[in-house]
Amino acid sequence: VFLWGKRIGILYQNENSLYADFEYDRDFQKSGIELSPFKMPLGGRVYSFPELGRSEAFHGLPGLVADSLPDKFGNAVINSWLARTGRSPEKFTALDRLCYTGKRGMGALEYQPASDLVRTGTDLIDLTEMTKLASDVLANRTNQSLTSDDVSKMQLLEIGSSAGGARAKAIIAWNEKTGEIRSGQINAGDGFEYWLIKFDGVKNNGDHELADPKQYTLIEYAYYLMAKDLGIEMSECRVIKKDGLNHFMTKRFDRINGEKVHMQTLAALCHFDYNYPNICSYEEYALRARQLGITKKETEQIYKRMVYNVVGVNCDDHVKNFSFMMNKAGKWCITPAYDLTYSYNPQNRWISQHQMSVNGKSSDITDEDMMETGKKMGLSSVFCRDAIGKTRSVINNWMHYAEKSGLSEERANEVNELLRIFL
């Protein structure tokens, strides 16, 4: 396992074991850089976590490296390639998937020996073709298995397998002036910036056993616009329109001036399995952040995001949707907010209530609950009351933001009616 060009440790797993062992290199032990301070502080011991052996979130790996594993869509892309090459996905272990990720993962960690099977060069990427391929992969169409004889398919294998998350997305380089899109895994050249793109119009796309709602990318863009007006820090987001589809893009925050930034989700730092609702509360999130040494302003950001998720009915607020970044000096901060959107379905076990609790509650959360949580976070009642009031005011103006995002009036009205139930 490497970080910023230096080996930090070794990860190994016996053939019949359900979990891996990790040991920091001796030189790195002297660095004072704590990459995973809660579960894997620097030291000479061998770290292993048998309790994560059967976890679908960790696959037996320590949280530090489990964050680099492909998620639902990335695994579907890899499994399609494995099927075509005659290999069993079941025998392609978590360590194999890390080696496949190599240098292409989110954050700054890199893995060797890295697979060299994916090399697409600097060919331009066709979004419409990528959308069709993503649909085929999620539909498990064997005749569309990924092979090295098709540039578009190998592009999807490269850009779509390491972005994380359940939905079809990819890491791209975009040139705003020319409109050109290339792989985000290579140095695309002058004029290109690096983004995550969520594909619109992908069949079988979605999360939590639900297909994506109509125009979900435009709903997320409207939520970005509202969050910006509330002073919630987010990376710049855009919508690219192509062939009647609206692809949602967000600029990568784990790359600063060409340098990779170490990043960990709340799930990884604390070994919280995101498949278990209410495994963590917003109060504990703020507590863990304080233990990492974040500022009061960042605690205020955490509170604003909590209020926004509650008032804006984003029940997909699980522990992988909150992250931290660390610079080369070992200083931590919270990342910009991401995955902010309307997410509620009373019939669905995942998003019928909030994934992280507020004052001990996952549903029917009141202003009093949010005020009490703010108090526990060490924030003033004046700040908390103001944050709640401003959030309600902005979300009350949903139709304005929906129009700005390009959402159809019919779809905007549907969301508006649902929001009104909770306002």
Opening angle at CA 298, ends 216 and 311, nearest 5: 40
- What does the pLDDT look like over 73-87, one tens digit per residue? 888 878 887 887 788
Looking up tokens 């954050």 gives: 107
The whole-model pTM stands at 0.92
Whether the Cβ atoms of residue 163 and residue 74 lie closer than 8 Å to each other: yes
Residues in the chain: 423
Q: How far is CA 79 from the centre of its chain?
A: 20
User: SS3 for 100?
Assistant: helix
Side-chain-side CA neighbours of 351 within 13 Å: the count stands at: 18
What whole-number distance in Å separates Cα of residue 215 and Cα of residue 221? 10
What whole-number distance in Å separates Cα of residue 348 and Cα of residue 219? 20
Domain ranges of the chain: 263-422
- Please tell me the least confidently modeled range out of 190-194, 284-288, 338-342: 190-194
Task: Assign a CATH topology to domain 263-422.
Answer: 1.10.1070
- What does the pLDDT look like over 92-138, one tens digit per residue? 899 999 998 889 889 999 999 876 555 555 678 888 888 888 887 77
Report the percentage of the chain scoring pLDDT > 90: 69
- What does the pLDDT look like over 324-365, one tens digit per residue? 999 999 999 999 999 999 999 999 988 999 999 999 999 999
